Structure 1
Amino acid sequence: MSERLASFSPAFFVIVLIAMGILIIFGLTKEGKTPIFIADESSAEQKGIFKIYHYKVYADFAEKGVYSIPEANPAYFRLVGNTSETESIYFQTTANTSFAQHIATDESHVYCGNLILPKLNPYTVYYIGDGYVSDGQLTYYCSLEFSPNQELGIIRTVYQQILFNFNKGPRPQTVLYSFKALPVSQKSYQLILPNIVTDGQQAYLAGELMREALPQKLHYMLQPDKDKSSQHYLADGQHVYYDNDLLDLQDNNQLIAYDISTAAGYYLEDPIQHIFYFKNKSFPNKLAPLRILNTTDKHGIPILFHSPKGIYYIEGVKKIVQKAGKSPFKDKLEQIYPDVFSNGTKSFFLVADKTTTRGRNGYRLCSYITSLMELDNAPAEKWEEIGRAGYGVKSPSSIWKNGMHYYYFDKFGQESAIKSSIYKIRDPALANYMTFNAVESDTIYDYIQMGFLEIPPHREVIRAESRLHSRFRGC
């Protein structure tokens, strides 16, 4: 086989790839994917993600398209609700009844998106919650969001797309609501935490077994502000998990979870051992003791970590620990304010940035950058907080003085187009005004644009760049 492939010239493979691309484009732009978008859509009956039109049932995958469900009977088609006492699919809707928007039933089948859940009884099925359904005997998890069909493959996709283009087959199932069958249990599965069910013995998150978990003690860990739980890190008094993954870490009451953002990442700190985890992987032990610098992404993605060996961050493409440079803090790191630091003598602050490239469809984000700046002529021992900027604002920023100069310490961040954690206030009268008046983020942004606030003179000492794509992809 390999000899036969080798006999073809490179030009042959180029032609094949071009042909495949044309066929895919033809398929994606082909009219007639479904009559729902050709005729009057207002006449289609909507049930969750499902549409009933001209006595046929379809599952709507948003921008990915609409898939028909040929097995579904529109006359008996219903969303699955949380009524376990129901003898049939004709249950009454009440204020206490909730429905799965992507799970439905008729008199013959139960559907996860446009796929049939095998052997599930449509007459006794009920919704447990968070994607879990049961008929009293069998239990399934149907993913809350659709995802790419990893089993289809490019060759099968192209082949099925060709058949679909010529009305010889259904659309290729490029996306789906994946599902998993849970083990049969003598006890009913109950939802105990978001996305987690138990039969009293085992715990399952998104349908996957959480090894060795103690269901009765399982809980999502708290984040630093103590009023918001992590969405990824869990513990049960003995074990610690990142989603379904059991970490090599003993649970203790000092563990801190940082759900910063999808772009910046999710981290777990063990202050006892001075180590960190990024998702389910620990930072190298040789870097301990570690300390996190920016606990939010307001003035920097990626997140920076201080170690005696340097400043580190998570690289964006390979998701590995990378050194950004030598630490300016040596053995003394003090936080003056969020994203503002000192080493006992000099002052430092964070600035966020990003790189983009211009493509066919506009600008494309290539990388995030966090810079650690050394502030000029601002001795650490001379900082004096004057007051809180934005009196009455939920999360006020702060006004500080160093020598004869006034500074604005920001808490709004990138979401408000404010990229630096420190700005110099050019007019002392403005500093006084900001201290005693409610100043929202829009006003701060306007002050920056008008030059009333400016990033102070500085020197960049650390630059951490987290790329989103490999360099050969145009960035």
Structure 2
Amino acid sequence: MNKNIIKLIRITAVIAFLILITFTVSFLLPGREADTNTIDNEGQQIGGIFVRYQDHVYAAVPSNGNYMIKEADAKSFRLVDNSYQNRQFGIDKNNAYCGNLVVKDFNPATAKAIGNSYFTDGKQTCYCSSMSVENEDLSIFSWLSQQSLYGLGIGDKPQTYIYPLAKLEAGPVPYRVILKAEAVTNGTLCYYQGKILPLAHGASLRQISELYNDGDIRESQNYLADGQSVYYKNALLPLQDHPNLQAIVIDGQNQENYLLDPKQGMVYVNDLPFDKQYSPYNILSLNGAHVYHALFLSKHGIFYFDKKKRKVLRFKDNPFDGGNFREIAPLIFSDGHQILYTEASQIWGGNKNPGLKSESTHIYRLDEPTTGNWQKIGMVGGSYGSVWKNGNAYYYFDELGDSQLIPQTIYRITDQHAVAALFAPQIRTDDIRKLVDTGGLLKVKRTELIEVETGFSKGFGEVILIVLAVLTGVLLFLWILRKLGINLKPSIIKD
């Protein structure tokens, strides 16, 4: 083989190895900036999310700590408004800031808050969200390179989370806030969370009513309508507005939003419609203590939204179909003959592969030797659960759920001492867990009918795979060199 080629290969191998070592070490270094705890503890609180520390201004951006605002003038920096919803918007003598980002061409001298996370300088109007979100514009490869440079002290901290910022189209009429949502209008245009609401009529825009599991009705922060069009946030939905539209909140399942259209028997999860060919749909329950999925019933099966796949999926089997089931207690259903109920479970990885692997919602049939008649004896701790009697046996129907370390929905109560303990005036959740641990509450006999499962991967799984891929590539490259008889001994590169 040509000596120049061998020399080039040696140089390439050394450079690749050095890059790998540098890349790995950079992730172990803290970066050149002070850590969040030091800034919070030793810095001077300006107000809102802003802290003054060592003549610099830092903005707290959940969920990734503090970011230095390089452009900020520490002496003149202040909040534009002291209210909680405007805590993320600051100004100094030179600029206005949404979190740690400069609002370009915005006059700080005339800046003021108009409400609903909107701000104006008299000429321009912008939206600056009061809540940080994941920065979707930052790719995994950009994050890797920026984090590496930041660890080495030669780059800025990656903007993994951000306060969304948007500028509104200017017009002759100033924008004014409408509704109890993040919406504004200037009479011609309407915006929600800084994004245009297409075809919306500001004068008739309303928040759709939202039903909670306790019967409480509020105004939805996500579903809007104007008598003609219906919106999920700023997305136009393919349905006509009518008074019977109903947003719902499944207790504890607040990651997704649901809208029911009883006129068409349709369901929307966020802005995604369920398949119309399987309608009409009915919600199984608004209670969420023992589920990880909101379940909807149809004569064609059971439907649910998989938050990992971002799709509505279907189970063809529907054990509730054909039966006259009613919810006698949260997530426990009876048709007078049998009991069906839901239960939630999680699978976590071990030490070598940690993290949440999957979440499941199960539908079980109770197989205890019961009669058809169930008698409610009373509530436990006000809202922890309830005690029921069937024949001579007593059962505890739980409403706390897996998040409170009560994994089973139904327990059989062993004796009257356990019944009395459940009805103790000052009973705590720890007391219920103790009854489970000591055998006062026993697992019931049951048969699993359906398991709805959503699988997850670790948050940094892609990063680990990329690092392993680079390492594997280098090792493979070195192995090929050995097979070619090229010996990479330490040498002096003269040129």
Above 0.5 in TM-score? yes
Give the Cα–Cα distance (whole angstroms) in 2 for the partners of residues 21 and 414 of structure 1: 43
CA 1:374–1:44 in 2, change beyond 3 Å: closer, same or farther?
A: same
Q: Give the letter aligned to residue 211 of structure 1.
A: P
Identity among equivalent pairs (%)? 31
Q: Give the letter aligned to residue 339 of structure 1.
A: L
Q: Give the letter aligned to residue 353 of structure 1.
A: S
Matches within 5 A, 1:315-334: 315-334=306-325
Deviates more, 1:397-406 or 1:367-376: 397-406
Matches within 5 A, 1:373-412: 373-377=364-368, 381-390=372-381, 393=382, 395=383, 397-412=385-400
Deviation of 1:412 after TM superposition, in Å, equals 2.2
Give the Cα–Cα distance (whole angstroms) in 1 for the partners of residues 303 and 36 of structure 2: 52
Deviates more, 1:194-203 or 1:145-154: 145-154
Match of 2:446 in 1: 458
CA 1:16–1:302 in 2, change beyond 3 Å: closer, same or farther?
A: farther
Give the Cα–Cα distance (whole angstroms) in 2 for the partners of residues 460 and 340 of structure 1: 14
Deviation of 1:208 after TM superposition, in Å, equals 0.7
Deviates more, 1:126-135 or 1:429-438: 429-438
**Structure 1 residue 177 corresponds to structure 2 residue 177:** no
Match of 2:172 in 1: 186
Match of 2:362 in 1: 371
CA 1:421–1:150 in 2, change beyond 3 Å: closer, same or farther?
A: closer
Match of 2:241 in 1: 251
Deviation of 1:220 after TM superposition, in Å, equals 4.3
Which residue among 261, 279, 285 is the counterpart of 1:294? Answer: 285
Deviation of 1:160 after TM superposition, in Å, equals 5.2
Matches within 5 A, 1:82-101: 100-101=86-87
Deviation of 1:110 after TM superposition, in Å, equals 1.0
Match of 1:356 in 2: 348
CA RMSD of aligned residues (A): 3.5
Match of 1:304 in 2: 295
**Structure 1 residue 238 corresponds to structure 2 residue 224:** no
Contact 2:411 2:443 in 1 (8 A): yes
Deviations 1:75-97 (A, max 9, x none): 22111127xxxxxxxxxxxxxx6
CA 1:38–1:24 in 2, change beyond 3 Å: closer, same or farther?
A: farther
Deviation of 1:451 after TM superposition, in Å, equals 1.4
CA 1:123–1:24 in 2, change beyond 3 Å: closer, same or farther?
A: farther
Match of 1:278 in 2: 269
CA 1:405–1:21 in 2, change beyond 3 Å: closer, same or farther?
A: farther
Contact 1:317 1:470 in 2 (8 A): no
Match of 2:334 in 1: 342
Deviation of 1:419 after TM superposition, in Å, equals 2.6
Match of 2:184 in 1: 197
CA 1:426–1:236 in 2, change beyond 3 Å: closer, same or farther?
A: farther
Deviation of 1:195 after TM superposition, in Å, equals 1.7
Give the Cα–Cα distance (whole angstroms) in 1 for the partners of residues 162 and 17 of structure 2: 26
Which residue among 390, 394, 416 is the counterpart of 2:404? Answer: 416
**Structure 1 residue 226 corresponds to structure 2 residue 213:** no
CA 1:460–1:79 in 2, change beyond 3 Å: closer, same or farther?
A: same
Deviation of 1:324 after TM superposition, in Å, equals 3.5
Contact 1:99 1:127 in 2 (8 A): no
Give the Cα–Cα distance (whole angstroms) in 2 for the partners of residues 431 and 41 of structure 1: 50
Deviates more, 1:281-290 or 1:38-47: 38-47
Task: Find the residue that maps to 2:108 and give its secondary structure.
Answer: coil
CA 1:22–1:60 in 2, change beyond 3 Å: closer, same or farther?
A: farther
Give the Cα–Cα distance (whole angstroms) in 1 for the partners of residues 427 and 182 of structure 2: 40
Give the Cα–Cα distance (whole angstroms) in 1 for the partners of residues 228 and 323 of structure 2: 34
Deviation of 1:153 after TM superposition, in Å, equals 4.1
Task: Find the residue that maps to 2:350 and give its secondary structure.
Answer: strand
Contact 1:329 1:343 in 2 (8 A): no
CA 1:46–1:449 in 2, change beyond 3 Å: closer, same or farther?
A: same
Contact 1:416 1:445 in 2 (8 A): no
Match of 2:456 in 1: 468
Give ranges in structure 2 of 5+ residues lacking alignment.
1-8, 465-495
CA 1:426–1:325 in 2, change beyond 3 Å: closer, same or farther?
A: farther
Contact 1:303 1:370 in 2 (8 A): no
CA 1:296–1:446 in 2, change beyond 3 Å: closer, same or farther?
A: same
Contact 2:410 2:444 in 1 (8 A): yes
Which residue among 291, 300, 313 is the counterpart of 2:304? Answer: 313
Deviation of 1:353 after TM superposition, in Å, equals 0.9
Deviation of 1:251 after TM superposition, in Å, equals 2.9
CA 1:46–1:436 in 2, change beyond 3 Å: closer, same or farther?
A: closer
Deviation of 1:417 after TM superposition, in Å, equals 1.8
Contact 1:30 1:165 in 2 (8 A): yes
Match of 1:4 in 2: none
Task: Find the residue that maps to 2:355 and give its secondary structure.
Answer: strand
Q: Give the letter aligned to residue 361 of structure 2.
A: T
Task: Find the residue that maps to 2:290 and give its secondary structure.
Answer: coil
CA 1:167–1:371 in 2, change beyond 3 Å: closer, same or farther?
A: closer
Give the Cα–Cα distance (whole angstroms) in 1 for the partners of residues 121 and 371 of structure 2: 66
Give the Cα–Cα distance (whole angstroms) in 1 for the partners of residues 75 and 344 of structure 2: 56
Deviates more, 1:235-244 or 1:16-25: 16-25
Task: Find the residue that maps to 2:238 and give its secondary structure.
Answer: coil
CA 1:257–1:443 in 2, change beyond 3 Å: closer, same or farther?
A: farther
Q: Give the letter aligned to residue 459 of structure 1.
A: T
Deviation of 1:184 after TM superposition, in Å, equals 0.8
TM-score (norm 1): 0.81
Give the Cα–Cα distance (whole angstroms) in 1 for the partners of residues 21 and 221 of structure 2: 39
Match of 2:72 in 1: 72
Match of 1:266 in 2: 257
Give ranges in structure 1 of 5+ residues lacking alignment.
1-8, 83-96
Task: Find the residue that maps to 1:183 and give its secondary structure.
Answer: coil
Deviation of 1:59 after TM superposition, in Å, equals 2.9
Q: Give the letter aligned to residue 437 of structure 2.
A: Q
Deviations 1:65-112 (A, max 9, x none): 543333322222111127xxxxxxxxxxxxxx6773221112221111
Deviates more, 1:332-341 or 1:33-42: 33-42
Task: Find the residue that maps to 2:288 and give its secondary structure.
Answer: coil
Give the Cα–Cα distance (whole angstroms) in 2 for the partners of residues 144 and 98 of structure 1: 8
